[in-house]
């Protein structure tokens, strides 16, 4: 097996709060192959954004810090690189598009200038060639009349166009990995579908690897090759898309699936998961999902379940997993 392009191991982020020190990301590990799309899913507050920001050493506040973990890019540890060396990797090799594009685009600079500036920062060259490259990138992400639109300011773009502009900006340094944090949640369904198609095309045409953060398993089902499910800052299940959608073993994953229109098995009424996600200052001991879990055993309240592999690279952290789906009946069975 070839080594993964990106490998996060044991990522742990601690928040200093008035109620004490809390792990908002607790030993999260996942990897990403070249040209692969990994979906990172979980309820609001499960640590999706923080885990990815930790990867990029872009924690949004001084009260947050990386306490442990390793991030390897092409087999080389990057988390302990000095800041200047790390800045060269961030953007250039790993790009990120954020949850809210409006707050990450400069309102007083034209879209074209912002992209051209990034092209020059990472690749050098003159203003003219950088502007030409910016227009080319805008065209690639499906902005109509890109030469003209490059001269527009962010507020002159619609939500969908701004998100495309963010993608063009993230692609300007020609990264190997793109981390896309809920890039479509604020968009209407048609525009959302266009952006998902665009990301798939970018994977196919450039071999881009993508970590796609979302709470929407329906989106993940359309887009991703593998899925990593987070709960309370920990990975509870990880595996190929088919294994997660058809043979989920963690009761939290089966609960999430039952809440999704179109994915719920049996086509019955949509379920909800009873109870609420834990808050930082009241993280349950043992398995963090146990107070809400229909399968909970006594051990679940005491002992943190390790991530255990079932078949291939399908793994779940659960003391009492959901039964495996029955094997399909074959003619000679
Ligand atoms: N600046 C901060 N200081 C302390 N804790 C924070 C800070 N920002 C976020 N958190 C906490 O970190 C945890 C993880 O948050 P994160 O933003 O990663 O969740 P998320 O899965 O991305 O959720 P969403 O789907 O709402 O974007 C949450 O419990 C959140 O309250
Ligand atoms: Mg988030």
13 and 116 inside one domain: no
Cβ partners under 8 Å of residue 126, min gap 6 = none
Q: Which of 145, 174, 203 is the last residue of a domain?
A: 174
pLDDT of residue 236: 96
217 and 303 inside one domain: yes
* Shortest-distance Cα residue to atom 1 of ligand 1: 61
78 and 202 inside one domain: yes
192 and 332 inside one domain: yes
Name which of 41, 43, 8 is nearest 27 in CA terms.
8
152 and 252 inside one domain: no
* Shortest-distance Cα residue to atom 22 of ligand 1: 49
Residue 42 Cα to ligand 2 middle (Å)? 9
282 and 255 inside one domain: yes
Residue 145 Cα to ligand 2 middle (Å)? 32
Q: Does the beta carbon of 215 lie inside 6 Å of ligand 1?
A: yes
Angle (CA) 292 222 134, round 5° = 120
Q: 76: exposed, middle or buried (C-beta count within 10 Å: 0-12, 13-18, 19+)?
A: exposed
229 and 332 inside one domain: yes
HEC per residue, 242-309: HHHHHCCCCHHHHHHHHCCCCCCHHHCCCCCCCCCCCCHHHCCCCCCCHHHCCCCCHHHHCCCCCCEE
* Shortest-distance Cα residue to atom 18 of ligand 1: 47
**Predicted confidence (pLDDT) per residue in 34-69, tens digit:** 999 999 999 989 999 999 999 999 998 999 999 999
Comparison of pLDDT for 83 and 100, the residue scoring more = 83
In DSSP terms, which residues pair with 70 in a beta bridge?
Answer: 9
Q: Does the beta carbon of 60 lie inside 6 Å of ligand 1?
A: yes
Q: Which of 151, 174, 197 is the last residue of a domain?
A: 174
147 and 204 inside one domain: no
pLDDT-derived band at 123 (thresholds 50, 70, 90) equals confident
User: Which whole-number Å values give the CA distances from 261 to 39, 74, 216, 243, in the listed order?
Assistant: 18, 38, 10, 19
* Shortest-distance Cα residue to atom 17 of ligand 1: 49
Task: At 329, give phi and psi (nearest 5°).
Answer: -75, 130
User: Counting ligands in written order, which one lies closest to the CA of residue 60?
Assistant: 1
Q: Does the beta carbon of 214 lie inside 6 Å of ligand 1?
A: no
Cβ partners under 8 Å of residue 307, min gap 6 = 29, 235, 238, 315, 316, 317
Give the structural domain span for 2.
Answer: 1-93+179-333
CATH code at 219?
A: 3.40.50.300
pLDDT higher than threshold 50 for residue 333: no
113 and 239 inside one domain: no
**For the chain, how many structural domains are there in total?**
2
221 and 272 inside one domain: yes
Average pLDDT over residues 287-304: 96
Instruction: Judge contact between 176 and 93, C-beta under 8 A.
Output: yes
Residue 278 Cα to ligand 1 middle (Å)? 12
Name which of 321, 317, 319, 322 is nearest 233 in CA terms.
317
Task: At 228, give phi and psi (nearest 5°).
Answer: -120, 120
153 and 38 inside one domain: no
pLDDT of residue 103: 75
> For residues 199 and 220, what is the distance between their CA atoms, to the nearest angstrom?
12
215 and 122 inside one domain: no
Q: Which of 113, 144, 174 is the last residue of a domain?
A: 174
Average pLDDT over residues 148-154: 96
Average pLDDT over residues 207-224: 92
How far, rounded to the nearest angstrom, does the alpha carbon of residue 75 sit from its chain's CA centroid?
Answer: 20
Q: 0.85 exceeded by the pTM?
A: yes
Residue 114 Cα to ligand 2 middle (Å)? 25
**Predicted confidence (pLDDT) per residue in 220-266, tens digit:** 999 999 999 999 999 999 999 999 999 999 999 999 998 887 665 54
Q: Does the beta carbon of 18 lie inside 6 Å of ligand 1?
A: no
* Shortest-distance Cα residue to atom 25 of ligand 1: 44
Name which of 40, 50, 25, 69 is nearest 232 in CA terms.
25
* Shortest-distance Cα residue to atom 14 of ligand 1: 47
**Predicted confidence (pLDDT) per residue in 168-196, tens digit:** 999 999 999 999 998 887 778 888 888 89
């Amino acid at each position: 097996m070839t080594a993964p392009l990106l490998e996060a191991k044991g990522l742990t982020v601690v928040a200093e709060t008035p109620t004490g020190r809390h792990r908002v990301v607790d030993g999260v590990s996942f990897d990403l192959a070249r040209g692969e799309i990994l979906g990172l899913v979980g309820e609001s507050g499960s640590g999706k954004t923080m885990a990815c920001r930790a990867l990029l050493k872009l924690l949004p506040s001084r009260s947050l810090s990386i306490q442990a973990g390793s991030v390897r890019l092409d087999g080389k540890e990057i988390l302990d690189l000095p800041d200047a060396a790390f800045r060269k990797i961030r953007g250039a090799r790993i790009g990120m598009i954020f949850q809210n594009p409006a707050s990450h685009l400069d309102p007083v600079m034209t879209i074209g200038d912002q992209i051209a500036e990034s092209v020059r920062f990472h690749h050098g060259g003159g203003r003219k060639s950088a502007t030409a490259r910016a227009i080319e990138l805008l065209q690639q992400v499906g902005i109509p009349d890109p030469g003209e639109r490059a001269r527009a300011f962010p507020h002159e773009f619609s939500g969908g166009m701004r998100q495309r502009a963010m993608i063009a900006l993230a692609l300007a340094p020609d990264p190997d990995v793109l981390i896309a944090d809920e890039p479509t949640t604020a968009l209407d369904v048609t525009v959302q579908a266009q952006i998902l198609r665009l990301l798939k095309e970018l994977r196919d045409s450039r071999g881009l690897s993508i970590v796609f953060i979302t709470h929407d398993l329906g989106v993940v089902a359309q887009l991703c090759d593998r899925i990593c499910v987070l709960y309370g800052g920990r990975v509870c299940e990880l595996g190929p898309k088919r294994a997660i959608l058809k043979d989920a073993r963690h009761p939290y994953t089966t609960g999430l699936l039952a809440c999704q229109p179109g994915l719920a098995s049996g086509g019955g009424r949509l379920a909800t998961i009873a109870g609420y996600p834990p808050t930082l200052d009241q993280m349950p001991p043992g398995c963090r999902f146990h107070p809400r879990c229909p399968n909970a055993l006594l051990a679940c309240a005491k002992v943190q379940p390790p991530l255990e592999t079932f078949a291939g690279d399908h793994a779940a952290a659960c003391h009492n997993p959901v039964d495996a789906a029955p094997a399909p009946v074959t003619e000679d069975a």
